[in-house]
Amino acid sequence: MGGKLPPGLTVAFGSGILAALFYAAVLLGGFGALILGYLAPLPLMAAGLWQGTAAAVLASIIGTMLVTLLMQEETGGLVATLGFLITSALPALVVVRQSLLARTAPDGGLEWYPPGRLMLVLAGVGLGGVAIAMVMAMGEPGGLEGVIRQALSRMALLVAPGQADALGPDAMWIAPAMPGLVVISWLLMTVVNGTLAQGLLSRFGLNRRPSMRMVDFTLPHWSALALSLACAGAVLLDGTPGFAALTVALVLGVPFLFAGLAVVHAVARRQKASTALLVAVYLFVFLIGWPIPFLVGLGMIEQWMGFRARLAARKPDQEDE
């Protein structure tokens, strides 16, 4: 006489299969398939934020095995597996584990792991990956930066084969920033998927923890010092130390971008047309781009001034995600 699988197992199996199918969709080509590939961590995060860390681990294992089978011939099993682990399974497991951490607050309620610290943990994971890549490239001319310059040069020559002289390794000025930009992309992908997963679960009342509100985003004070030192190192140091400092500065800029946006949310809460204001700000910032450094600076100033908390306290609690 058969029995039903426990809900956690059912969710884990279904989520792992869905994540693998999303990831393998990139083989179909086209913009829609690319979007599905970008959303591959979403089912894994949803499973974990709903059923717990064990469900996320099981879903990740199932997804990894299925990706290896589906993409064995097209990309090679190892390449596909590593890609899925790095871009989908790893961020999902980090987000789920840290998000579900909680401790008893002085008032007897639960105090959940703060979103700012979660962002710093993710940044640390990304920087750890860059550090591993730097160690692996130590035997190459120019280290990791030299490897990146050579790779960019070969890619450019495929696009413009008649400009071999102009597209040498030294012409690839973006090379020092590439590791940081890759980690930033990974971070933003993780944030988007985590937000969508939590929002989906909240919509149906399946979330374990309350949703993280942008206005509550804070960072520990030491992070501002770390970003300042990294920026100074990127400007003053040459070679590998300068390359590493630039990577750290770029990656740590992302949490402070969110800290700056938290100030914007605190200001918007005091306006009648708060939603319209926030939509306008986000469109202006992310379509134009150049205001981003100003928001990072605003986030750093907030670390010492603390006016976000005072602004947020002047209006009754409300959701502003």
**Residue 221, number of CB atoms within 10 A of its CB:** 9
**Residue 236, number of CB atoms within 10 A of its CB:** 10
Please name the amino acid found at residue 290.
W
Q: Which of 127, 115, 238 is nearest to 182 (CA)?
A: 127
Q: Which helix (H) or strand (E) holds 102?
A: strand 102-104
Summarize the confidence of residues 81-94 as an average pLDDT: 95
At residue 77, what are phi and psi to the nearest 5 degrees?
A: -60, -40
Tens of pLDDT, residue by residue over 242-272, are 999 999 999 999 999 999 999 888 888 877 7
3-state SS class at 103: strand
pLDDT, greater one: 209 or 76: 209
pLDDT of residue 321: 46
pLDDT, greater one: 271 or 88: 88
User: What separation in angstroms does the CA of 236 have from each of 177, 241, 246?
Assistant: 16, 10, 10
Please, is 250 exposed, middle or buried when counting C-beta atoms within 10 Å of its C-beta (0-12, 13-18, 19+)?
A: buried
For the ranges 29-33, 180-184, 215-219, the maximum mean pLDDT occurs at 180-184
| Cβ proximity of 225 and 181 under 8 Å | no
The mean predicted confidence, pLDDT, of the chain is 86
Contacts made by residues 5-11, CB under 8 angstroms, sequence distance 24+: 7/51, 8/51, 8/52, 8/54, 8/55, 9/55, 9/58, 11/47, 11/50, 11/51, 11/55, 11/59
Residue 171 DSSP symbol: G
**Alpha carbons 250 and 235: distance in angstroms, whole number:** 12
pLDDT, greater one: 321 or 104: 104
pLDDT of residue 320: 44
**Alpha carbons 36 and 44: distance in angstroms, whole number:** 14
- Quote the tokens at residue 46: 């949803």
| Cβ proximity of 300 and 229 under 8 Å | no
Q: In this model, does residue 160 exceed pLDDT 70?
A: no
Written in H, E and C, the secondary structure of 295-306 is HHHHHHHHHHHC
**Alpha carbons 312 and 263: distance in angstroms, whole number:** 9
pLDDT of residue 136: 92
pLDDT of residue 79: 82
| Number of helices followed by number of strands (H, E) in the chain | 15, 2
- Quote the tokens at residue 83: 């890609």
